[in-house]
Amino acid sequence: MVSLSNHEVGYANLGTTSSFDRLRTRSTDSQDQNMSFLSDTAISFRREIGPTLRSWYYIIFGLVQPLLYLALFVPLLGAIPGPEGTSPLQWFVPGMVVMLVLFTTVSCGWALTEELMSGSFERFLATPMSRPAIMVGRALKELAPLLVQALILIVVATPFGLVLHPLHMLLGLAMLMLFGVGVASLSYALAIASKHDGSLFYLVSHSVALPMMLLGGVLLPMTNAPAWLYIASRFNPLTYLVEAERALFMGEIFVMPVLYGALVAVVVAVAGLAVGVSQVRKASL
Amino acid sequence: MIHARDLTRTFKTKAGPVEAVRGLSLDVAEGELVAFLGPNGAGKSTSVRMLTTLLPLTSGSASVSGHDVVADPAGVRRQIGYVGQGTGSGPYHRVRDELVTQGKAQRMTASAARKRADDLLGMLELDGLADRPCASLSGGQKRRLDVALGLMHTPPILFLDEPSTGLDPHSRANLWDHITSLRKASGMTIFLTTHYLDEADTMAERVMVMDNGIMIADDTPARLKADLAGDTIHVSVLCEDQSGNAAEIAQNLPDARETRVDGRDVAVTLRDGEAVLPEFIRRLHQSGIEAISARVVRPTLDDVFLGLTGRSLREAAA
Ligand SMILES: Nc1ncnc2c1ncn2[C@@H]1O[C@H](COP(=O)(O)OP(=O)(O)O)[C@@H](O)[C@H]1O
Ligand SMILES: [Mg+2]
């Protein structure tokens, strides 16, 4: 009934690695880990993106969404003057992209809860895969469709007055991806910490994301805000990111807002990953 | 292959600390098939998850295949296959994809992983399911897939946490057929947990009985039963007034532990019932007592557990 390959039969020997072999594997460990971070990220990303790419309705909706946003927004923008005589889209599109990234990544821990409970996440933790790579791969899976949507948004907005600054815009998107990896990791950490309690996860993630978005001047400018609100917005990391994106979409690059935004993205990414990995490490799933 | 010394794990919960594992020491040699038997909540999963680097230890030390679980977790992970208590496959992923991903995660090349995946699909009777999403598999098929995932990189040690829980009897038997034949061919060390008595009894060469976070017995099922429970000889005598004398004779048999009388029925618990029965009948006959029926009742591991804890595992597991 069961046929066994040679592979299986010759196996018993593998258990008796010589101490020399053992020493050798140990000494190459750290090097091994650095090299495998990228390939592990790729493994994790490919696993997660598979079902997404096979789901035609996901793809259709994903492609239609940005068009819908523009269709609902562009008519509203007619009366508003854009910055420095440009189209208001130059100001709105970056804000919209930031909003997309924030909301998708903040809630992506949700997708993990199912796997946390079922045991398939644990299965990967029992392999030599790098833990940060498992997280980054998952986060990139959430970010990849956003990247496509952002590109569609930019391309479709061009005929309506958006001026293209391809390199600046790509840099802006890269910065957002970095930020997104950090937020996604924090979201995974929250999912683990709120231990299978979906409503707690939802409550916390949204009570953080929504104020952050409003306070970040993502959709409405903070310049007209009362003093206290403006000051509060200065303590919101998202503010700096949005300002950096707007500068980049205006074609500016060597300006302070871009530097601040880049710093925010890097700090969020590093801190997010650190928190996420430590949660995984001490998680008693 | 597996060594643990004074492992403990305490969980902090709102209701106070839970001492899930309290001082576990064990040694498993290469090629052994060991079962951890114990009721739900005994600390089996917690122990396995410490040995597989999934859970930090509160205190103690452990090594698997020469790698320390704290100092060199990656080394441990390369050497083990881990089949957790839950479902390892993701519902939206396809069967073969999951296997290949697992292989790559275990540092196999893509082509080796694909070949191994196809081999395992055949071995575990999963052929034909390769392109199906895992959610569409039956309970038994999902569990066989979990085992296949654990075996992808042909690990020298396989950990199975309640591999057959929740399966119907047919799927359980089928899963065990696969595990035992895989083992026969590979000589893998297998460490499994179960709360099914019959399973530990028939499958494991060595049973570690766990209760309340500690190991209370560790031996072959046969020796556990002989030492801790023993056989029971039941003899019915012709006249009820002879049963008192018969009980006295029974009590003097070699290794006799406990004698009970119930009407014409005399029962005696001792080490090796089948070997002692002829002698018992002969002595009865010498004393002029006629036995009209006799049987030897073999103990189960439940009797062992009952003897050790005063509780039945069947109740404890429920
Ligand atoms: N993550 C956890 N947090 C708190 N308590 C836990 C956790 N995991 C297990 N326990 C407790 O530890 C004890 C042992 O659990 P476990 O090892 O799962 O037992 P078994 O696998 O033998 O059924 C139980 O009392 C359980 O409630
Ligand atoms: Mg368990």
Q: How many CB atoms lie within 10 A of CB B249?
A: 19
CB nearest to B84's CB, from A119, A282, A284: A119
- Residue A222 CA to residue B162 CA, distance in Å, equals 57
Predicted pLDDT of residue A150 = 92
Are A174 and A265 contacting, i.e. CB atoms less than 8 angstroms apart? no
Q: What are phi and psi of A63, to 5 degrees?
A: -75, -35
Give pTM, 2 decimals. 0.84
Predicted pLDDT of residue B28 = 95
- Residue A42 CA to residue A134 CA, distance in Å, equals 9
Predicted pLDDT of residue B126 = 92
Which of B98, B101, B111 to mutate to test binding with chain A, by most A CBs within 10 Å of its CB? B101
Look at residues B156, B303, B295, B161 and name the one whose alpha carbon lies nearest to residue B227: B303
Predicted pLDDT of residue B315 = 65
Higher pLDDT pick, A220 / A284: A220
Predicted pLDDT of residue A9 = 35
Ramachandran assignment for B87, one of left (phi > 0), alpha (psi -120 to 50 degrees), beta (any other): beta
Which of A25, A49, A120 to mutate to test binding with chain B, by most B CBs within 10 Å of its CB? A120
**CB contact set of B314 (below 8 Å; sequence gap of 6+):** B197, B302
Report residue A35 as tokens.
């090299």
Testing ligand 1's pocket by substitution, the residue of B19, B21, B22, B45 carrying the most ligand atoms inside 8 A of its CB is B45
pLDDT category at A31 given cuts 50, 70, 90 is low
Look at residues B183, B1, B187, B108 and name the one whose alpha carbon lies nearest to residue A13: B187
A40–chain B Cβ distance below 8 A for any pair: yes
Q: Is the pLDDT of residue A23 over 80?
A: no
Which of A2, A9, A38 to mutate to test binding with chain B, by most B CBs within 10 Å of its CB? A2
Look at residues A269, A251, A278, A267 and name the one whose alpha carbon lies nearest to residue A143: A269
Predicted pLDDT of residue A2 = 39
- State the ligand closest to the CA atom of B161: 2
Chain A residues closer than 8 Å to B177 by CB: 1-2
User: Could you tell me where the beta strands, DSSP code E, fall in chain B?
Assistant: 2-13, 16-28, 33-37, 59-64, 67-68, 80-83, 157-161, 189-194, 206-211, 214-219, 231-237, 258-262, 265-270, 291-297
- Residue A238 CA to residue A236 CA, distance in Å, equals 5
Predicted pLDDT of residue A81 = 66
* Element holding B180 (H helix, E strand): helix B169-186
Look at residues A185, A145, A168 and name the one whose alpha carbon lies nearest to residue A271: A185
CA of B36 to the centre of ligand 1 (A): 15
* Protein residue with least CA distance to atom 24, ligand 1: B41
Q: What is the pLDDT along chain B (318 residues), one digit of tens a residue?
A: 899 999 999 998 888 999 999 999 999 999 999 999 998 899 999 999 999 999 999 999 999 999 999 999 999 999 999 999 999 999 999 999 999 999 999 999 999 999 999 999 998 889 999 999 999 999 999 999 999 999 999 999 999 999 988 888 888 888 888 888 888 888 899 999 998 888 888 888 899 999 999 999 999 988 888 888 888 999 999 888 888 899 999 899 888 888 889 988 999 988 888 889 999 999 999 998 988 999 999 888 888 888 888 788 776 554
Predicted pLDDT of residue B168 = 85
Predicted pLDDT of residue B163 = 92
Over the stretch A147-186, which tens digit does the pLDDT of each residue have? Answer: 999 999 999 989 888 888 999 999 999 999 999 999 999 9
The alpha-carbon gap from A38 to the nearest alpha carbon of chain B, in Å, equals 12
Predicted pLDDT of residue B196 = 85
Q: Is the pLDDT of residue A27 over 60?
A: no
**CB contact set of B198 (below 8 Å; sequence gap of 6+):** B300
- Secondary structure letter of residue B133 according to DSSP: B
**CB contact set of B49 (below 8 Å; sequence gap of 6+):** B55, B161
- Residue B57 CA to residue B76 CA, distance in Å, equals 15
Q: Which amino acid is present at A191?
A: A
* Element holding B308 (H helix, E strand): helix B301-309
Predicted pLDDT of residue B234 = 92
Task: Measure CA B153 to chain center.
Answer: 24
Q: Which residues pair with B237 in a beta bridge?
A: B291
- Residue B64 CA to residue B43 CA, distance in Å, equals 19
Over the stretch A216-252, which tens digit does the pLDDT of each residue have? Answer: 888 777 777 888 888 888 888 999 999 999 999 998 8
Q: How many CB atoms lie within 10 A of CB A164?
A: 13
Of all residues in chain A, the one with the smallest CA distance to B67 is A22
Q: Which amino acid is present at B290?
A: E
Predicted pLDDT of residue A72 = 83
Predicted pLDDT of residue B211 = 92
CB nearest to A123's CB, from B67, B149, B178: B149
Q: How many CB atoms lie within 10 A of CB B266?
A: 29
- Residue B14 CA to residue A212 CA, distance in Å, equals 31
| Ranges of H-type helices in chain A | 6-9, 19-27, 29-54, 56-77, 89-106, 109-118, 120-125, 131-157, 166-193, 198-215, 227-234, 237-249, 256-282
Q: Which residues pair with B133 in a beta bridge?
A: B94
Predicted pLDDT of residue A22 = 41
Predicted pLDDT of residue A196 = 67
- State the ligand closest to the CA atom of B44: 1
Q: Is the pLDDT of residue A4 over 90?
A: no
Q: Which residues pair with B153 in a beta bridge?
A: none
Predicted pLDDT of residue A8 = 35
Q: Is the pLDDT of residue A3 over 80?
A: no
Predicted pLDDT of residue B258 = 84
Q: Burial, A135: exposed, middle or buried (Cβ in 10 Å; 0-12, 13-18, 19+)?
A: buried
Higher pLDDT pick, B90 / A86: B90
Which residues' Cβ are closer than 6 Å to ligand 1?
A 284; B 11, 13, 18, 20, 38, 40-46
Over the stretch A114-157, which tens digit does the pLDDT of each residue have? Answer: 888 888 999 999 999 998 899 999 999 999 999 999 999 999 98
CA of B302 to the centre of ligand 1 (A): 22
